[in-house]
Structure 1
Amino acid sequence: MNARSNRKASVSLTAKELSKKTWSDFEAVLGTNGGARGCWCMHWRLSIEEWTKGKGEGNKQAMKRLAQRKTPPGVVVYDGDDTPVAWCSLGPRSSFPRLERSPLLASVDDEPVCAIACVYVQKEHRDSGLLPAILEAVCDYAASAGYEIAEGYPVEPRDGKRAGADTAMTGIASAFLKAGFSEVARPRGDRPIMRRKVK
């Protein structure tokens, strides 16, 4: 781990709800492509047909509408007060219809969980050891929002291979472990389902 990683891993991050006020920071994190392939973090919220049709600007506007609702679709994570470093899409599993329909990531039980559906780190902050601290900030937010359990669906890259942006959008298993999550199911070799009590 380099000096930059050591510094970043010890930083205390904060999470703020996505809203009109934080929208520009959300855009800064996701970049001009809206994350991977014009997603704008609508992957788990739409059918594949809806997502493909809205790819790019349509998906962006769909997320912008969600950001104006009382219940936020996720949080922007900051290093300090004003440096956005990541985005996390979260909420009840029922907020993510495509996740609910997924045969791979089916519900483990009937526990009400805060589903961490996507964790997207701004490009310039990747490889800096931030992901566990991002998850800590997200769990702090989940607790403040009244959730008792956070649930993640990370990937566990095999054979030392690096996960690309498309496959790593749900996070990396080792970072979840460092943030205090435990595996509760493994529907496929590279896809654990992990939980952490936040209250």
Structure 2
Amino acid sequence: MTIAVRPASVFEDVRTLVGPKSPEANVCWCLSHRIPAKLNAELRGPARGEYVAGLCRTEPPPGVLAYDGDEPVGWAAVAPRADTSFARSRTIPHVDDSPVWSLWCVRVRPGHRGQGISHELIAGAVEFARAHGAPAIEAYPLDSGGAKVDTTMAYPGVRKNFERAGFTHAADTTSVLAGHPRVLMRLDLRG
């Protein structure tokens, strides 16, 4: 298996990874940290997908996709922190005022998990941020201490995967998800 990671500019492929089975459903579409809470609450059903379709046509697109051949098998949301809710978070601290990028969602399709695709997605997101001039990239993974994490709540990733990718612990947070604390991990992209 050869995995290629590319910018998420093909809406149909993004929908395969983060869209609902029913277009009327009000699922995340990976918008909850990307847009203001009021807009997130206002976008209902098909309007959520239409908003994401618009993001896929922008530069930079809303993240990266992992492909096994032509099949989309993974997604990672990555954008400038200033353009996300992490810019205003009360639970995830700012380490400094550097215009860092945030990587907050890593998702691998069922049937493709356990094959290293999340590692490829993290590496691809790092390269995507670097190519767009990010001085550093942050992630806010679960610090599960090796404990099993429910797959549906593992979207921010786990600390060990980010350490493996070269990220280092930059700060503790007061955010807890699925019973696990989240930590702020950072990778400097300069030099």
- TM-score class, shorter-chain normalisation, is 0.7 to 0.9
Unaligned runs of 5+ in 1: 1-10
Asked if 1 retains the 8 angstrom alpha-carbon contact of 2:141 and 2:182, the reply is yes
The 10-residue stretch of structure 1 (70-79 or 110-119) with the greater mean CA deviation from structure 2: 70-79
What is the match of residue 130 of structure 1?
A: 117
Asked if 2 retains the 8 angstrom alpha-carbon contact of 1:185 and 1:192, the reply is yes
Distance 1:159 1:76, change over 3 A: closer
Matched position secondary structure for 1:175: helix
User: Which of 108, 114, 131 is matched with 1:144 structurally?
Assistant: 131
- Amino acid of the residue matched to residue 183 of structure 2? P
Superposed CA offset, 1:2-55 (max 9, x none)? xxxxxxxxx664322222xx2221122225359x96111101123434323324
Asked if 1 retains the 8 angstrom alpha-carbon contact of 2:144 and 2:181, the reply is yes
Asked if 1 retains the 8 angstrom alpha-carbon contact of 2:76 and 2:106, the reply is yes
Q: Does residue 1:65 correspond to 2:54, yes or no?
A: yes
Identity %: 28
- Amino acid of the residue matched to residue 153 of structure 1? Y
Residues in 2 aligned to 1:12 and 1:155: alpha-carbon distance in whole angstroms: 28
- Amino acid of the residue matched to residue 90 of structure 1? V
Residues in 1 aligned to 2:135 and 2:183: alpha-carbon distance in whole angstroms: 20
RMSD after superposition? 2.5
Asked if 2 retains the 8 angstrom alpha-carbon contact of 1:39 and 1:56, the reply is no
Distance 1:54 1:75, change over 3 A: same
Distance 1:168 1:37, change over 3 A: farther
- Taking the TM superposition and a 5 Å limit, the aligned residue runs for 1:106-121 are 106-121=93-108
Residues in 1 aligned to 2:168 and 2:26: alpha-carbon distance in whole angstroms: 31
What is the match of residue 177 of structure 2?
A: none
Q: How far has the Cα of 1:69 moved from its partner? A: 1.7
TM-score by length of 1: 0.79
Matched pairs, number: 183
Dislocated runs of 4+, deviation >6 Å: none
